[in-house]
Amino acid sequence: MKPRFSKPLALWCLVTCAWTTHAATTELNVAELQAAIAEGSLSATEIVTAYLERIETVDVNGPATNAIIETNPAALEIAGALDAAFAESGPVGPLHGLPVILKANIDTGDSMVTSAGSLALADHRAAEDAHLVAKLRAAGAIILGKANLSEWANFRSTESVSGWSSVGGQTKNAYVLDRNPCGSSSGSAVAVAAGLAPLAVGTETNGSVVCPAGINGVVGIKPTVGLVSRHGIVPIAASQDTAGPMATTVQGAALLLDVMSGPDEDDDATLLAPPTLPKGLDQANLEGVRFGMVRDYFGAGSHAPTDAAFEAAAARLTALGGELVDPIEVGLDRDMSAAGYQVLLYEFKDGLNRYLHEHRAGFTTLAELIAFNDAHAESVMPVFGQEIFIAAEATGGLATDAYREAVAGSVTKMRGLVAGVMDAHDLDILIAPVNAPAWKTDWVLGDTFSLGSSSIAAVSGYPSVVVPSALIKGLPVAIAFIGRPYTERLLIDVATLFEQQRGAFPTTRFLRSMEP
């Protein structure tokens, strides 16, 4: 299915010349856009117009990053209403006039589709906004469109290709187009990296915010599970699912997180969060902050340039006054990974069946989706199958001993390991590489994940802030700051200082390939 847009497409020869149109606007970060709105040099209408043109010229034509599934046909109307409100009484909230792209598994109670990237839900329009979307709108944000994703948030097949969906096709890496954008929030990350929106929201179960952010050179925040409501998001696993913000700067992502966060009676996990998060740093350096350098993440030592980038990032922290404890081994093992996968299978079946029943999306069970995929295999499964769907359907309920044992062997165990190692070494933050340089997209062999550290924060449900740290042969790699539950403010403050010490990060070049 072709992506749907509210504007006609331009010819390639015109697109190349049009890249400079509104370039100054789409190159501004969130703080700069806020300042321009406040001083009256930019209106919400002008900002939205600039980004819609950017989407048409860069995402659809031009480099054709294919990050956006559809734009919001009401975006300009909403922007006009915000401009009128601003003229009368000033900004309506902290995100006044700022466009936000949402991953296409997040409900909007408007004409846009919540498809999860699947043709099965290609006509599913939610009756109401997800809780986080309602908060964004109340803060003055403009929902600009929906981003492509790995279909069903990369939880349909063991042979999946990240960034591909049967609705949106293949999203491309923002730095080198034949490289993979990582999944499953691929479109959200590419949208920010390519200047299609200043802000985007992704979702993560294990790596789906942090990996796309790291591989596409943007900031991503994976919050503590329960800090942001999951109500109105197509689920995978209640023990690990969370939405998370993306932006070009830590400050921009933090602002989006502040707005998205808060209690929701429709998500019990949000009611467990403290009413006020613990404070962050009270000084402009890292003196007294202890960092543990994780050395047993997946693929540790397998890629020398990534190792070198990690060492350089750690040196920046010491230059800021931080104390490094090295090495730190969390205790990750294959048994924990196997148990964690079982938890996802059980919770996926339970959560998805609930979502389908509540939303009257044309299907009521996972079993019906499996049948749909089989019946439409040519269009839905031309690249990979649905082995995970079938495995999930074969599980029992959440009341079974097998499920409880899997939780004990993964979620509970990981929380104990993280707390134990941080207590034993008096650590404030764990640090680890997020990703190696992006692999070439391959529809035959699938994804090639050579290293990653996302499981530490994902399985425990703890927060992680990802900041680009270096380019390796033109491809971004990043560092993750991982903390105890609800320590987002500390992680954000530390990440901000790291970002400042690093300096401006190289922007996308949209290279077609790294090969001659």
Q: Which residues are catalytic?
A: 103, 184, 208
> What distance in Å separates the CA atoms of residue 270 and residue 224, rounded to the nearest whole number?
10
| Region for residue 474 given its phi and psi (left: phi exceeds 0; alpha: psi -120 to 50; beta: otherwise) | left
Bridge-based pairing state of the strands 142-147 and 219-222: unpaired
Closest to 221 measured CA to CA, from 230, 208, 231? 208
Residue pair 224/190 in contact (Cβ under 8 Å)? The answer is no
Cis peptide preceding 184, ω within 30 of 0:
yes
> What distance in Å separates the CA atoms of residue 226 and residue 10, rounded to the nearest whole number?
43
Give the number of C-alpha atoms closer than 13 A to the C-alpha of residue 174, restricted to the C-beta side. 27
> What distance in Å separates the CA atoms of residue 492 and residue 482, rounded to the nearest whole number?
10
Q: Show the tokens assigned to 425.
A: 């070494």
Cis peptide preceding 433, ω within 30 of 0:
no
Residue pair 4/169 in contact (Cβ under 8 Å)? The answer is no
- Residue given tokens 């033109």 in the structure block: 474
Start-to-end Cα distance in the chain = 32
Burial class (CB in 10 A: 0-12, 13-18, 19+), 60: buried
Bridge-based pairing state of the strands 219-222 and 464-472: antiparallel
Burial 157-194 (b: 16+ CB within 10 A, else e): beebbbbbbbbbbbbbbbbbbebbbbbbbbbbbbbbbb
Residue pair 269/233 in contact (Cβ under 8 Å)? The answer is no
Residue pair 152/160 in contact (Cβ under 8 Å)? The answer is no
> What distance in Å separates the CA atoms of residue 489 and residue 449, rounded to the nearest whole number?
30
